Structure formats: structure tokens, C-alpha cells
Chain A
């Protein structure tokens, strides 16, 4: 398998007036060509920061990359010139944002907004071809092409997200980052949008990172899954491996316990004790140690390293020190 994206020991912090927030701590993740990876984690775990880092879209002045690097197709993203970055954004990697209500420009027609991507990346394309391409992609996402002349406020939330998807795919990128693309939508619309994304992913052969906090969506949609906690990937494996629930990180395990299971008689969900990590201090040991019921003194003191429990399934936890996977 060829690696498309490689994030290595990425450290990102936000310097605000009040405090320094450590968003990503030693975040490492690989993505193969054609792979659909689900990234799961709680709010504030660093998922969006990761996505923005890949495109180097972190808010300037506030966010600071203090270590690590991101390699896309063998190129270091952080070392790219402004021009190279612009060529990367939209054409190679594109992003679907969380809130379709606010991510479209209210004063441009949706057609123009989709067209703009082509204008930027294919300046030599004729006007005619561009218009055809826009109409084509609109049809693909299930919007009548003539609605391209309308403005975002004339669309419903689900339709807006379809526009955002069309915009993300029109230049046929190799990597699609979807940051909780359905969180802001009604449940009935969620399924439609996910189906659409899966269909289009297959059609274009795009690699994809789907960021979500919903394990159900991962199970249905992704091949592989990475679990993020406290700004690091603590478990990574195929959906089958992770969802088998034989060997999991204690955090992943407790995530599963939060989902109602209809096959057992349990009447209560088990909440995870404690609070989401206060990311204003970078943890010395395991970020989950404070809330982990299996934690020992060692977990607090020493950061666990990666332990493979199966082929392609690793867990960052001292419990699996003696496992011999690859």
C-alpha cells in the first residue's frame, strides 16, 4: 500500500490571552491511498485541529506548530511555499466543514462558489467547460443544476451541505477531509448525506478522513478507525479489529459502553467518569490516566508507546506491552 499522508509527532498549541491550550501532543497518523479512515474522539480531542493542520489552515497568530511534520505525497506540507499550498488546497486535498450554514459565502451564488474552485485550479479551462462541470457535479450531489444561480440562503441545511460536498469534489481531489459533516444536520438528512459521500468517494476513488464522534457512523462508513484522545491517536486498526471488542484501549472500551447495546439485557449505559481532559497542561503520562479505571502510577508518570496487538491494529497503552503484533 502506498502512503498518501503521514502525520508524524505533530504538536500544535493555541496561545490565547488567558492560557496556552495544547491541542495536539505527539499526534501521529498514516493514511494509505484509497483508504477511508474514521477519526473518532470527544469534543476538544484535537480532531479539527488535525484536519486544519493538514491543509495548513490553522488560525494564524493563535495556533502554533511546535513540533512534528506532515507529509503529503512525499512533500512536507509545512515547508511548502504559499503557491504550492494554494495548489494543494482544493485540488489535492479538500475539506467539508462541520457547519454548512456558515461555511458558504452568503453573497455569492452557489454555482459561482463551486465554479471558483475550477477557476483557481484550472485557469486554462474554458468558461463553457467550467459551467458544464459545475452542472455535472450539482447533478451528482442531487441538486438541479439550475439552482446553481441561487444564493445559499435559499437552500436548506442538507442542501447546503450537498453544495459544500460538490465544492469539495469538483476539482477531483485525492484526499477529502470531512469534519463532522453531518453533525449540524437532522438525523434523517444525515443518512442521505453519508450515502451520497460514500457513493461519490467510490466514483472518484478519493481517499478520505471522516472525523466524527459517532462510532455508529464509523462502523457503517469506514474501513479503518483511529481513536483520538487528548491530542494523540491512542488506538488505530481496521473497523473489524476495533469493533470486535476483544482488545481495545480502555478509553475506546468505555466509548463502546456509552452506546446502548440492544443485544444484551443491560438497562444502564456506563458513562465515562471524570471530565474531558483539561488541555491547558500537557500531560506527562497517558492522557486518559486520570479517568481510567485500570490506571496505575506508571500510567500517570510514563507516556505509553505504541503496541501492536494484531496486524495493523495498535493501541497506545501500557496494558498491551507484551503483545507481539506488527
Chain B
């Protein structure tokens, strides 16, 4: 059934493909070279960051060693050089990635679940609940995300967990809206009506018929929003809100070196490139996924 519908989208084909839907999506995704590049780069980055303790001592990131200050990249065994306190920039960037990418992924996971639940309830049941949830979402979306996150962090106090909560509150409304819109669109679709006619239970309609159909757009928006969240975390790190020094974070690495970047450009270029490349990879992946999931949308 699934294979048939996927093939049907591609054009008239009377040989029913035995390949599963996901295999087809993966086949289409693979053809997009930029999307593959993004996937490989991001995977490599995540691997390097996750396995960091195996090859890189965390102390190199936080221990000051003034005599080694401003060692240029590639000198004295410092691949990315050192900062004004002689801390290893490679170690700071790699361990900083644990915060930047890690917090980003965690936020996305929380807001994905939160968005599905709130949007699902709102879209499927409609009426009063829908009204209340959507008004709250509207309200939260009326303020620029970074500012709202800052205000919430201010109210809750500093710390990584508070940062995660604030970012989740900022991002859930957008996800909830996407899910709700998708469900509203589908709720009255003919195949859902057909399923109802067969006497299908509510739960089965939601999980078997509705969810797989909204998963596509939701995954795409999630990947796209991960980039935005990483940028938001970096901005807050730059402003010194959220994670506290000396814990490294990509944005805060840039701000602590700001006065020296003019004379030692690598101090700004390297962490900046890490942010940019990870966000760029994510948008390549998001584009690739969108085209692979819905070939009709492709330009």
C-alpha cells in the first residue's frame, strides 16, 4: 500500500515496486549531492565531538597557560592555535560543540515532542482546546525568539538546563502550528474519511493514517529549525547568557576573543566557521529531505 502510493507520485507505473517507501526516499535523497555532503559533514562533526574525550583532554580547553598564549594554528602541536590564556582552541571548539550542537539537538527533540503533542491535540480535537493552545502559541510567537529566550533565562536564572527550557518554549509554538495545520488539512481528507467509514478506531487513524503523512513536513521543519536554534544558542553564548564561563561554547568563544580577532583572525574565523558549516550542512540536509519526501515540491 505504502509502496504503491509512493510510486504513484512519481508517475504512472504499472510495475508495483517492492521497495519500501523509506528506501525510495533514501534513493531520492542520495541523488542530491549537496544533501549528501551536508549529511557527511554533520556526521563527521558529531562523531568528532562525541568521541572527543577519547583523543582530547578537556583540560586543554579550560586550563590557562599564559606562556603559550596566541600560538598560531599548526604551531607547537596546537592545530587551531591558542587564545589569550594559552587555551587550546581545538579543544575549546570541539568541547564547545558539545554544548552548541548538543543543546541544539536536545532542544529540537523536546520541541518536536512538544509540538506533536500540542499540535496534534489542537488539530485533531479542534474546538475550545484548539483555540486556547493556538492563542498561547500566537502570543509566544509575537516576540522575537532570541528576546523571549533571553527573558525566560533571566526569569529562570543561568544554566544549560534553563537555556534548554527557554529555547523549547520559544520553538514549540512553531512546531505545534505546523503539526496542527497538517492535521487540519488531512483531517477531512478523503482517505481519512474512508478509514472512518471502515470503522477504524481513533488511535489507529492518528498513528497509522495521520502521523505518517505529517511526518514528512514535520521532519523537514525540524531540521530547518535546528539551524536556527544553533544560531540562537550561539547568539546567547556571545551575549554571555545561558552557559557560564569558562565552559566553552561556539558563540562565547567568539565573544571572549573579540578584542583579539583583529590581530589574530583565526580566533574568530575558526569558531565562526564551525557554526556556519554546521548550520549550512543542516540546511542542505533539510532541502534534500524536503525534495526526497515530496518530489512534487521540487523546483
Question: Which positions in A face B, CB cutoff 8 Å?
Answer: 16-19, 21, 44, 275-276, 278, 280
Min CB gap A191→B, angstroms: 30
Main SS class of interface, A: loop
7 A-B pairs besides A278-B12, A278-B13 with CB distance below 8 A are: A17-B298, A18-B11, A18-B295, A21-B11, A276-B12, A280-B11, A280-B12
* B198 interface residue (CB < 8 Å to A): no
Min CB gap B174→A, angstroms: 29
Cα-based distance from A280 to B11 in the complex (angstroms): 10
Across the interface, which residues of A come within 8 angstroms of B298, CB to CB? Answer: 17
Q: Is the CB of A17 within 8 A of B11?
A: no
Across the interface, which residues of B come within 8 angstroms of A44, CB to CB? Answer: 12
Cα-based distance from A21 to B10 in the complex (angstroms): 12
Q: Is the CB of B11 within 8 A of A19?
A: yes
The residue among B11, B295, B298 with the most chain A CB atoms within 10 A of its own CB is B11
Residue of B nearest to A276 (CB): B12
Cα-based distance from A276 to B298 in the complex (angstroms): 27
* B14 interface residue (CB < 8 Å to A): yes
Interface residues on B, range: under 10
Cα-based distance from A202 to B290 in the complex (angstroms): 52
Across the interface, which residues of B come within 8 angstroms of A16, CB to CB? Answer: 11
Q: Is the CB of B295 within 8 A of A278?
A: no
Cα-based distance from A18 to B291 in the complex (angstroms): 13
Contact of B10 among A18, A276, A278 (CB under 8 A): A18
Cα-based distance from A21 to B295 in the complex (angstroms): 17
Cα-based distance from A275 to B15 in the complex (angstroms): 13
Cα-based distance from A21 to B12 in the complex (angstroms): 10
* CB-based A-B contact count at 8 angstroms: 17
Residue of A nearest to B298 (CB): A17
Residue of B nearest to A274 (CB): B14
The 3 A-B pairs with the shortest beta carbon distances in the complex, nearest first, are A18-B10, A18-B11, A278-B12
**Chain A to chain B contacts (Cβ below 8 Å), 9 pairs:** A17-B298, A18-B11, A18-B295, A19-B11, A44-B12, A275-B14, A278-B13, A278-B14, A280-B12
Across the interface, which residues of B come within 8 angstroms of A275, CB to CB? Answer: 12, 14
Residue of B nearest to A278 (CB): B12
Residue of B nearest to A277 (CB): B12
Q: Is the CB of B295 within 8 A of A17?
A: yes
The residue among B10, B12, B13, B295 with the most chain A CB atoms within 10 A of its own CB is B12
Min CB gap B82→A, angstroms: 50
Across the interface, which residues of B come within 8 angstroms of A280, CB to CB? Answer: 11-12
Min CB gap A316→B, angstroms: 24
Cα-based distance from A21 to B14 in the complex (angstroms): 15
Per-residue CB proximity of B1-20 to A under 8 Å, as 1/0?
A: 00000000011111000000
- Contacting A at CB under 8 A, from B46-95, are none
Across the interface, which residues of B come within 8 angstroms of A21, CB to CB? Answer: 11
Cα-based distance from A18 to B28 in the complex (angstroms): 10
Across the interface, which residues of A come within 8 angstroms of B13, CB to CB? Answer: 278
Cα-based distance from A283 to B127 in the complex (angstroms): 56
Min CB gap B278→A, angstroms: 29
Across the interface, which residues of A come within 8 angstroms of B10, CB to CB? Answer: 18
Cα-based distance from A16 to B12 in the complex (angstroms): 13
Min CB gap A102→B, angstroms: 17
Min CB gap B23→A, angstroms: 16
Across the interface, which residues of A come within 8 angstroms of B14, CB to CB? Answer: 275, 278
Cα-based distance from A18 to B10 in the complex (angstroms): 7
Cα-based distance from A276 to B12 in the complex (angstroms): 10
Min CB gap A18→B, angstroms: 5
Across the interface, which residues of A come within 8 angstroms of B11, CB to CB? Answer: 16, 18-19, 21, 280
Cα-based distance from A21 to B13 in the complex (angstroms): 12
Cα-based distance from A32 to B10 in the complex (angstroms): 40
Min CB gap A296→B, angstroms: 24
Cα-based distance from A16 to B298 in the complex (angstroms): 11
Residue of B nearest to A19 (CB): B11
Cα-based distance from A275 to B13 in the complex (angstroms): 11
Per-residue CB proximity of B265-299 to A under 8 Å, as 1/0?
A: 00000000000000000000000000000010010
Cα-based distance from A278 to B295 in the complex (angstroms): 20
Min CB gap A45→B, angstroms: 13
Min CB gap A235→B, angstroms: 24
Cα-based distance from A16 to B13 in the complex (angstroms): 14
Cα-based distance from A148 to B15 in the complex (angstroms): 51
Cα-based distance from A278 to B7 in the complex (angstroms): 14
Cα-based distance from A17 to B10 in the complex (angstroms): 9
Cα-based distance from A300 to B9 in the complex (angstroms): 30
Min CB gap A22→B, angstroms: 13
Cα-based distance from A265 to B162 in the complex (angstroms): 82
Per-residue CB proximity of B84-110 to A under 8 Å, as 1/0?
A: 000000000000000000000000000
Min CB gap B26→A, angstroms: 16
The residue among A18, A44, A280 with the most chain B CB atoms within 10 A of its own CB is A18
Across the interface, which residues of B come within 8 angstroms of A17, CB to CB? Answer: 295, 298
Cα-based distance from A140 to B258 in the complex (angstroms): 75
- Contacting A at CB under 8 A, from B156-200, are none
Cα-based distance from A44 to B11 in the complex (angstroms): 12
Residue of B nearest to A21 (CB): B11
Residue of A nearest to B31 (CB): A17
Cα-based distance from A44 to B298 in the complex (angstroms): 22
Residue of A nearest to B9 (CB): A18
